[in-house]
Amino acid sequence: MRTLLLLIACILGATLSLSAQENINLNKFRQLKTELATPNVYRNAAGAPGHEYWQQQADYKMKIRLDDEKQMIHGEETITYHNNSPDVLSYIWLQLDQNMRAKDSDSKKIKTNSIGSEMSFSELKKLHNDFDGGFKIESVTTSGGGALKHSINKTMMRIDLPSDLKPGAQFSFKVKWWYNINDRMAIGGRSGYEYFEKDDNYLYTIAQFFPRMCVYNEIEGWQNKQFLGRGEFALPFGDYEVEITVPSDHLVAATGELQNATSVLTGEQRKRFDQAKRETKQPIIIATQEEAEEREGKRSNKNKTWKFKAENVRDFGFATSRKFIWDAMSVELSGKKVLAMSMYPKEGNPLWEQYSTKAVAHTLEVYSKYTFDYPYPVAWSIHAARIGMEYPMICFNFGRPEADGTYSARTKYGMIGVIIHEVGHNFFPMIVNSDERQWTWMDEGLNTFVQYLTEQEWEKNYPSRRGPAYKITDYMGGDKSRISPIMTNSEAIHQFGANAYAKPATALNILRETVMGRELFDHAFKEYSQRWMFKHPSPADFFRTMEDASGVDLDWFWRGWFYTTDHCDISLDDVKWFQINSKEPKQQKAASKKKKEDAPKFIGDIRNAEIETYMDRDESLGDFYNDYDPFAVSILDDVDYERYIKNLSDEEKELLESGYNYYQLTFSNIGGLVMPLIVEFTFEDGSTQVDRIPAEVWQKGKDSVSKIFVLEKKVVDVQLDPFLETADINTENNTWPAASQPSKFTVYKRNRNRMNPMQKAAKADAMKKALEEKEQQLEKEEKK
């Protein structure tokens, strides 16, 4: 039995390694036929919505009440679900995202952890966390009030419909619920509250606060994959009418347009608000810091209800606090005005009043240029320590100065970067509505790419974290067991930020700068954005549109960058220099002679030259050679040459005499990722020439290729990827002659008392303190 098992194991092992071998040999340029879904009437082969494309719609009417004493949300909603599909539905699915914080949630159960030799208190507190989160569903009823049969499966709720929902029909129903708001600073979260101990106030950034419809489409059926924390959201579009009741001294920012300014704003605030609608240069402060500080010190026991309306959005978020300062300005996009606005507590100043709203305005302008005009009436940036999180028309952003109001460049650029990123999410995935639960790269990657363009248009040499090819090389060349292909489900990704943000953003940059060029890329990217604006695209729709609109076959690129973990390491192995043999006898013989004379000599021959030989000793010996010289030109040589020349055309003769240099370069692909070859030649006179060879140079599937370059001038230096555009992880094998920059190494003396950096810092602090004390002592003595 045992031998049999062993035998089976051996056979299995053999087949496995064989199929791995086959995979290696598959051509990297083969089309993505098996990887992509077959085009159909819903999504066509060009990557556009097909002629029978459909999507569902969910409209919401909500009444929300914040309990600022107990940090709770109470809600009631009426959802009207429109079945635009050709299918008959007997049940519908809703998402209960808050249940991720329920005591028995799977997110907690599947979280892996371990204790090393130390742990921070905040980590320890998370282990002890017994927060009673999750939706407490009070009722699920028909619009008439009759109970609806429903079943809660962790973060999902199925409602069984009283009768089948036919294609084209709609169904309205009500849900009532409440939940405890999480302390975001203690246990984290995309939404929650921050408590400010100094003035005993809360700042709420609220989202995923209501039961939301799942997406139903022809790709997934119901997208009811459980919410485990990483893979974000998939939501249908709809119209929202939301009433939010908060203490009357709070300010509220939300998805949508404010409907009742007259009953929630003061006369002065309304005047400033109207002014902001006309102002396009500088933000107008609608609620000042002074006013905010005054509100902070008191407590109103009255409530106010803020009413918002939003059309064609996939979600709703809001923020509320009595600490808020509020400013706004207008942005004009193709003649239409949009309000860019910010709310922040005094803790965000002076940074926030300087930069937040302007960064929002700039983001709307640049993203609109690369995609489509921002279609919503407002765009908010809300101050929220430590997080960056996006919702339609509103996002929560970090960036807090020190207590004394100073801030580092890192804090400033971090804040501007996160605002650009989160406001940018309005485009991907809020409007180009991809499935975040499945594919993080479709929103984070595309968004990080446009974020990079926007940052570079904010300020020259903006220190962008992600985008340039050379910034991804450490990740790409790292331990492959900790790298996943981009096309991996959100929950299963290793190195989340590098995989889902940086790598796809870099890939798009490389397409734009190197593979397609800016003009073709920008056109195709805009085409994708406009085709899928207010729709639900899939990865195939993106891949296909980029090719269809540009006329560039990119299957090899998607395959390498999105479906594998291969990296780029191409080496310039060899440079051979050739010139044409003119065949002119005199030149040829002279060259042969010189070659023989210059040839290296054998060590034995060199040493033996010193030996006295028999011939040296015996003078009687002598030869009678004829005068044949192998290097002399004979008449026959001349005749041959004349005949050769006579048969040549003028063009051929010219070529023969031109004196061109032929350089044969050999490249090998070590990393496995196929990429274009960008080759820079430097000539004797210091001038340079760049040749760009498309990636198709590799399409025969060889690991090594050679190519001849015809150059008039003599080359002194060849550089592969001279502008760092292919993410080549090893640039040391990119030069000819081989790089002569020395690598430095350190020599140290063994010292048992060597300090680690922390000990060093502590010692420096102690020395500084001692010096200060000594100075104070001296001052005192002087005064005496």
**Which residues would be at the binding site for Zn ion (CB under 5 A)?**
444
Nearer to Zn ion, 327 or 444 (CB): 444
Closest among 391, 484, 534, 343 to 97, alpha carbons compared: 391
Nearer to Zn ion, 353 or 444 (CB): 444
Rounded least distance, CB 498 to Zn ion, Å: 14
Rounded least distance, CB 235 to Zn ion, Å: 16
Q: What is the 8-class DSSP label of residue 698?
A: G
Nearer to Zn ion, 247 or 424 (CB): 424
Rounded least distance, CB 243 to Zn ion, Å: 29
Write down the H helix ranges in 26-159.
Answer: 106-110, 121-128
Nearer to Zn ion, 444 or 541 (CB): 444
477 in Cβ contact with 437 (< 8 Å) = no
Closest among 453, 204, 220, 466 to 343, alpha carbons compared: 204
Instruction: Give dist(CA 512, CA 617) in Å, integer.
Output: 80
Sheet containing 156-165: order of strands: 150-153, 156-165, 89-95, 212-213
| Cis peptide, bond prior to residue 737, ω within 30 of zero | yes
282 in Cβ contact with 359 (< 8 Å) = no
- Whole-number Cα distances in Å, 649 to 639, 640, 644, 713: 18, 17, 11, 25
Nearer to Zn ion, 75 or 192 (CB): 192
Instruction: Give dist(CA 380, CA 391) in Å, integer.
Output: 10
Instruction: Give dist(CA 676, CA 567) in Å, integer.
Output: 13
Rounded least distance, CB 542 to Zn ion, Å: 17
Tokens 């920008």 correspond to: 522
Rounded least distance, CB 501 to Zn ion, Å: 7
Name the closest residue to Zn ion (Cβ).
444
CA angle, 550 then 363 then 273, to 5° = 140
Nearer to Zn ion, 444 or 527 (CB): 444
Write down the H helix ranges in 490-552.
Answer: 496, 503-510, 518-531, 539-548
Nearer to Zn ion, 236 or 429 (CB): 429
Nearer to Zn ion, 444 or 725 (CB): 444
Nearer to Zn ion, 159 or 446 (CB): 446
Rounded least distance, CB 425 to Zn ion, Å: 6
Is beta strand 378-383 parallel, antiparallel or unpaired with respect to 336-344? Answer: parallel
Instruction: Give dist(CA 707, CA 541) in Å, integer.
Output: 36
Nearer to Zn ion, 97 or 444 (CB): 444
Rounded least distance, CB 482 to Zn ion, Å: 22
Rounded least distance, CB 444 to Zn ion, Å: 5
Rounded least distance, CB 448 to Zn ion, Å: 7
Rounded least distance, CB 232 to Zn ion, Å: 9
Q: For 745-753, which contacts have Cβ atoms below 8 Å and span 24 or more sequence positions?
A: none
